[in-house]
Amino acid sequence: MEVFLQQLINGVAWGSIYALIALGYTMVYGVLKLINFAHGEVYMVGAMTGYYVARWLGVDANPSAGGLLIVLLAAMMVCAALGMLIERIAYRPLRRAPRLAPLITAIGVSLLLQNLGQIVFGADPKVAPGLLSSRVLVQAGSIAVTSLQVVIFAVSLSLCAGLTFAVHRTRMGKAMRAVSFDREAAALMGIPIDRVIAYTFALGSALAAAAGILVGLSNPKIDPLMGVMPGLKAFVAAVLGGIGSIPGAMLGGVLMGIAETMVSGYLSSTYRDAIAFVILIGVLVLRPEGLLGKPEREKV
Amino acid sequence: MKSSRLGMGLLAALALAWGCQKKEAGEIRIGEYGSLTGNTATFGQSTHKGVLLAVEEANAAGGVLGKKITLITEDDQSKPEEARTAALKLIRQDKVIALIGEVASSRSLAAAPEAQRAKIPMISSASTNPQVTQVGDFIFRACFIDPFQGGTMARFAFEDLKVRRVAMLVDIKNDYSVGLSQFFEKTFKELGGEIIASESYSEGDIEFRAQLTKIRESKPEAIFVPGYYTEAGLIAKQARELGLAIPLLGGDGWDSTVTLEIGKEAVEGVYFSNHYASDDPSPRIQEFIAKFKKRWEGEVPDAMAVLGYDAANMLLDAIRRAGEPDPIKIRDQLAATKEFAGVTGDMMIDADRNARKPIVILKIEGGKFKFVKSLAPQ
Amino acid sequence: MAVPKKLPNGAGLLIAFVSLVAFDRGFSLLDNAYLNQVLILAGINIVLAVSLNLINGFTGQFSIGHAGFMAIGAYVSAAASVYLSVPFFSFVENSLGWPIAAGQLLFFPFLLALGGLAAALAGFLVGFPVLRLRGDYLAIATLGFGEIIRVLILNVEAVGGARGLSVASPDPRYDIRYEGLFAVFGIVVLTVWALARLSYSIRGRAYLAVRDDEVAAESIGVSAARIKSEAFVISSFFAGLAGVLFAQSQGYVHTNSFTFLRSIEAIAFVVLGGMGSITGCILAAVALTVAPEVLRPVAEYRMVAYAFILIAMMLLRPGGLLGMKEFSWGWFFRRKEKPS
């Protein structure tokens, strides 16, 4: 039982990272019906930005909550800008093109960022700045919960709540919902589509940056290719929770984390990578709208 | 039919012109192929730094046999078939007389048959799969093979640390890791020990708590982690966070400052096998570290770099002894290497064309790698 | 869509055969193994591209897991070389009483059939759950399967796992690898011929119908599910053949050769060449195989250039180089016609 609980805790903490990344996927997909393959790389850029900013400010030498906040904000701003840039250059021109075109560009942008990252940042792994030290908060028998795990989960949850608030209680949020419901009608109603979409990308990318910083706290190895697998798995998480649904992304992320951890812990760690894809296919076949999504009828 | 023969002749002439590179009379061409890009770029780039340093040093000292060494480096994108392509290009287009490469046994295995076929000696800096040198008598290596390193760590664990129940955490995507773990397990069991758990991860992973929690359940006395420094530090950190205060054991893949940077206090007390100890006061080692830092802007050499350096120098030494840049003579001299003073130890090439050299066990103490003991090859 | 005027037929095949022999002999004269390697890789990429074109271009289904099928073909044939060569040749020699040369002649089709059919079976199994999905979901699902296949292979010790597998027979008498240009390009020509015939046939029309409007196609009696599955299976079969060629020519297989990146490269061929143009795919495959070799001096930027090509193609010329058209000699001669 103790093992199970420990694995559960591990899974929830790890899944919170997926949740943050998944939020970006789900928002962009809701608004544009596009899988933003480059999202995983935005997460990577967030982590890298944190690394360089922390070193530049000298924050990594004296960790503090204030330092963490500055680094977090810096990374989120940089990635928001990056997200908007990507949208503007690679996706906007293809808004009228068949669905596959932006998917291919997305893959292209992803590859571009990975390889540029290797050239600019260097291929060797870097140590993320230790902006928050970790203590064991709770120790019950052999179960340990570290303060970092709690922080990660708490931050994810609050960002998710903040996002839900933004989407349901603000005007921009309403515009986003309108655009995701019916883009043409929204445009006819006078909603500035381009701006709304840019805003969506900015928000989603900022969240990915936050994920990048948080993951650097608990798993401090960062490198230019770190976004590939988490990006894919976070997408699966978004699908699992119901693509287009914000609480779904959070739920999906946490479930993914738990699933991966449980499979590693109880079945076999060799198949851990495959589990994400098995879940994906399972969801797509059995319940394509995801856990919290609404079934869509395909119109002729 | 005259026109078609003319056509063939023209084609052949064009191809020949493309095929023959202009060769400077006073130069010796050596080829290096490695993963300069792709997901194992960090290993290829590190190795390259060591190889280049060795070549530049040789040239600064007047070259080899009075000739300048031209190092032609080709990237294989971390892919086996590209390793073969790169090797073929170096052999056929650039007409190199010897090849250095690769780090990954899979890529060495892809390229080695071509080197063997073309009768060009190939020396791998860090491929540890015994199969690599079995490809043919033109294939050599400058590092330990898995049976030796895995067996040594097993013996150390059993005899020195006196542990009997060991768990393993293996990188299943990596033949180095898999190979080491197989031989560790074999020797450890032969000695009378038990492998009570074996979990796996993939290179590139950053989250190991699930596997470590499972390992914790089996209550091991030590954990063998035959992986690379890219994951080692994180594994140690997470193990400690989960309350696993037992000794961690590793192979030469741990050798890098990245391990210390990421692991910090968590890697204190880790034992791993390596080629040399950086705190060894021997001038050979200290001079190398100083030279490397100077050449590469303060960067501390890791296992890949130092092996690349030694492999290159071993090759240059063999060329010197051969007396002329003839691939067959070089191969013979490589095979006859009885005492090569490398940074990673005094080596000899044995009958299987593998390097025989002492292995050192290091312990991480106070943020540094400290020498524990050295074991001579059997 | 321009239907090419002259479809290859039996006589064309004979011409192809003779050209192949000349091609093979000609390049053996040069004795440049590097050149051969590039040509062979180009050939394998052609098969991969043209087979993927059937799904992506003609049937409009987006599959980014093609490397998985190639991997199956490669590994099955490699395993056959290692484990089945002795039984096979013994059977030919002892039970049938034929000379070894006959065995050698038959072993290649045997390997091709095994690899291709295994991949086709995988295509069928994958297609089952996956083909009812729409556009991007299908893409991700196929990507998922590509990865699942790779992870599964990695865990099979009998084919080497992380150590890879060398393609060699335990018995030196039966140790044969079909790595010549004739063998490789023979299959390339056969693949192109077969897929061209299929694509420009009545059945091919059905594929296009499904691509253009699935619901409408259903309403005129074209079973979309059946078509999609068929395209998937056929496409996987040829991807498997590409895998067999890969294993035979390289002599060593490892899952690192069949990653997601390989699938993306295949996509790049189809996108660059034009989704729906067989000749476009051939040109693109050759260009994208040769270009990295030419660009070796700037190898560091090779992948960056690749990524740029993908993005630029989609932004500037989403139809690809040839779009939906095939290459025709008529294009050269059109200018000579004078308007009357």
To 5 degrees, how large is the angle CA B145–CA B147–CA B148? 70
Residue B285 structure tokens: 């080692």
CA distance to partner chain A, nearest, from residue C93 (Å): 42
CB contact (8 A) between residue A144 and residue B241: yes
Q: Do B81 and C26 touch (CB under 8 A)?
A: no
Contact state of B85 with C293 under an 8 Å Cβ cutoff: yes
Within an 8 Å CB–CB cutoff, is residue A112 touching chain C?
yes
pLDDT at B74 over 80: yes
CB contact under 8 A, C141 and A100: no
Asked if the Cβ–Cβ distance from B241 to A6 is below 8 Å, we say no
Distance from the B370 Cα atom to the nearest Cα atom in chain C, whole angstroms: 32
Q: Which residues of A touch C145 (CB under 8 A)?
A: 277, 281
**Cα(C133)–Cα(A217) distance, rounded to whole angstroms?**
38
Distance from CA of C75 to the nearest CA of B (A): 14
Mutate to test the interface with C, among B78, B89, B116 (most CBs of C within 10 A): B89
Subunits with at least 3 CB pairs below 8 A relative to chain C?
A, B
The minimum CA-CA distance between A220 and chain C, rounded to whole Å, is: 26
Contact B177 C166 (CB under 8 A): no
- Name the burial class of residue C332, with classes exposed (0-12), middle (13-18) and buried (19+) by CB atoms within 10 angstroms of its CB: exposed
Whether the per-residue pLDDT at A142 is higher than 80: the answer is no
Q: Which of C254, C290, C303 should we substitute to test contact with B (largest number of B Cβ atoms within 10 Å)?
A: C254
Q: B317 or C310, which is more confident?
A: B317
Q: How many CB pairs under 8 A join A and B?
A: 92
Q: Which residue has the higher pLDDT, B376 or A137?
A: B376
Instruction: Say if residues C159 and C75 touch (Cβ distance below 8 Å).
Output: yes
Interface contact B36-C256, CB threshold 8 A: no
Q: Verify whether the Cβ–Cβ distance B84 to C250 is below 8 Å.
A: yes
Q: Based on the number of CB atoms within 10 Å of its own CB, is A139 exposed (0-12), middle (13-18) or buried (19 or more)?
A: exposed
User: Are B50 and B304 contacting, i.e. CB atoms less than 8 angstroms apart?
Assistant: yes
Contacts of A278 in chain C (CB under 8 A): 144, 148
Q: What is the pLDDT along chain C (340 residues), one digit of tens a residue?
A: 455 555 556 777 788 888 888 888 888 888 888 999 999 999 999 999 999 999 887 777 888 899 999 999 999 999 999 999 989 988 888 888 888 888 888 899 999 999 999 999 999 998 888 777 777 788 888 988 998 999 899 888 889 888 899 998 888 888 888 888 889 999 999 999 899 888 888 888 888 888 888 788 888 887 888 888 888 999 999 999 999 999 999 999 999 999 988 998 998 898 888 878 889 999 999 999 998 888 888 888 888 888 888 888 888 877 776 666 776 655 555 544 445 4
pLDDT at C337: 45
Which residue among C29, C33, C246 places its CB closest to the CB of B92?
C33
C30 and C210 Cβ atoms separated by less than 8 Å: no
B76-131 tens-digit pLDDT: 999 999 999 999 999 999 999 999 989 999 999 999 999 999 999 999 999 999 99
Residues 187-216 of A with CB under 8 A from B: 215
Assess whether pLDDT exceeds 50 at residue A112: yes
**pLDDT value of residue C1:** 47
Q: What is the pLDDT of residue B167?
A: 96
Which ipTM was obtained for this model? 0.87
Burial of A170 (0-12, 13-18, 19+ CB in 10 A): exposed
* CB neighbour list of residue B106: distance below 8 Å, 6 or more residues apart: B80, B175, C162, C163, C164, C252, C254, C256
**Contact state of C302 with B37 under an 8 Å Cβ cutoff:** yes
Chain B residues in contact with C153 by the CB 8 A cut-off are: none
Higher pLDDT, residue B186 or B375 = B186
B360 three-class SS:
strand
Would the CB atoms of C62 and A100 count as touching at under 8 Å? yes
The 10s digit of each residue's pLDDT in B3-61 is 445 544 444 444 444 444 455 568 899 999 999 988 899 999 999 999 999 999 999 99
* Mean pLDDT score across all residues of chain A: 87
Nearest to C34 among B16, B88, B110 (CB): B88
> For A207-251, what is each residue's pLDDT tens digit?
999 999 999 888 889 999 999 989 989 999 999 999 888 889 999
Nearest-CA distance A142 → chain B (Å): 8
CB contact under 8 A, B36 and C300: yes
What is the share, in percent, of chain B residues with pLDDT greater than 90? 72
Question: Is the pLDDT reported for residue A36 higher than 70?
Answer: yes
Alpha-carbon gap: B9 to the closest alpha carbon of chain C (Å): 10
Sign of CA dihedral B361, B200, B208, A208: positive
Q: Which residue of C has its CA nearest to B128?
A: C163
Q: Which residues of B touch A264 (CB under 8 A)?
A: 199, 210-211, 214
- Distance from the Cα of residue C215 to its chain's centroid: 30
Distance from CA of A265 to the nearest CA of B (A): 5
C:69-128 residues touching chain A, CB 8 A cutoff: none
Beta bridge partners of A110: none
**Residues C87-105: pLDDT tens digits?**
998 888 888 888 888 888 8
In this predicted structure, what is the pLDDT of residue C9? 64
Nearest to C256 among B84, B93, B106 (CB): B106
Mean pLDDT of A124-142: 78
DSSP, collapsed to helix, strand or coil, labels residue B356 as: strand
**Interval B125-138 mean pLDDT:** 93
Select from A90, A107, A284 the Cβ nearest to the Cβ of C137: A284
Q: Do A288 and C151 touch (CB under 8 A)?
A: no
Nearest chain C Cα distance for residue B130, angstroms: 11
Put simply, the answer to whether C155 touches A270 (Cβ < 8 Å) is yes
The shortest CB-CB distance from C271 to any of A102, A104, A278 is to A104
Rounded Cα gap, residues B56 and C261, in angstroms: 35
Query: Is B217's Cβ below 8 Å from some Cβ in A?
Result: yes
In contact, B74 and B51? CB cutoff 8 Å:
no
Cβ A284–C310 below 8 Å, yes or no? no
CB nearest C311 (choices: A105, A285, A298): A105
Q: Closest Cα of chain A to B254: distance in Å?
A: 13
Chain B CB contacts of C38 under 8 Å are 85
